[in-house]
Amino acid sequence: MELEKKICIITGAAKGVGRATSLRFSREGAVVVLVDILEKELRELAERIHDSGQESVTMRADLSDSHDIRRAVERTMNQFGRIDVLVNNAGIVGPTKKSWEIQEEEWDRVFGVNLKSVYHFCRFVAPLMIARKDGKIINVASIAGKEGNENLAAYSASKAGVACFSRVLAKEVAALGIRVNSIAPALIETDLVKEMPKEQVEFLLNKIPLRRLGRPEEVAELILFLASDRSSFITGQCFNVTGGRGDY
């Protein structure tokens, strides 16, 4: 088991890529700390993990609230004494509008969940990992953050921030035993896609050479690789999971 007894925080764990990653990590022996605002879905996921003979803990948190994030980190440390892997997966699409039509509160909400939550989790967790000279951080960006998707300015800009922030942090902690990488999925079969207008989904799907949506389990495999020792010489990178869709 690649992650046996590793303490792994996964945000946005209740659905989609977060759920698939949580299940994949648990199959590799990880103790998964499931963080999300969706309590019912978290409980159902925790029950499934428990039924498989593995350990998990649920923590409800509003990921736009730094106080909730701090409490989640503190609870994890109080219960387990360390954090081995942090997966910042939580995200929202936000408004599908022209850039000049987006309201300030809409822009702030997207950045609060997509980028500020990554910043807050990393600023609370990175010092703990540095103290042990060990840890892996994987941040979920998006191909939209590399290309820029029409009518998704807030989402695209926030995900570009995730990728850039990850590169900066990776350089800052590389000599301290911590590896930081990000991934850039294209359209994945999640509730985020269901929130988008049908014509927007079709437009983006036409950019994917494989002509299909990705599956959350396919993304989870890459996250597992980056969390494992198999990727021990990889840091500061942003990996596409896009079915062939390119970027700049």
pLDDT, tens digit (0-9, with 9 covering 90-100), for 84-105 = 999 999 999 999 999 999 999 9
* CA 71 to each of CA 9, 65, 124, 136, 140: distance values in angstroms, whole numbers, following the listed order: 13, 10, 10, 20, 22
Residue 235: pLDDT above 60? yes
Q: Considering the chain, what is the average pLDDT of its residues?
A: 95
Q: What's the CA gap between 80 and 77, in Å, rounded?
A: 5
The residues that are catalytic are 155
CATH topology of domain 7-233: Rossmann fold (3.40.50)
What is the reported pLDDT for 248? 45
pLDDT confidence of residue 247: 60
| 223 pLDDT more than 90 | yes
Rg (CA), the chain: 17
What pLDDT is stored for residue 207 in this prediction?
Answer: 86
192 has pLDDT over 80: no
Provide CB contacts within 8 A for 89, sequence distance 6+: 10, 11, 12, 13, 17, 18, 21, 140, 223
Query: 182 and 219 in contact (C-beta within 8 Å)?
Result: no
Comparing 28 with 209, the larger pLDDT belongs to: 28
* Range of lowest pLDDT (67-81, 109-123, 210-224, 234-248): 234-248
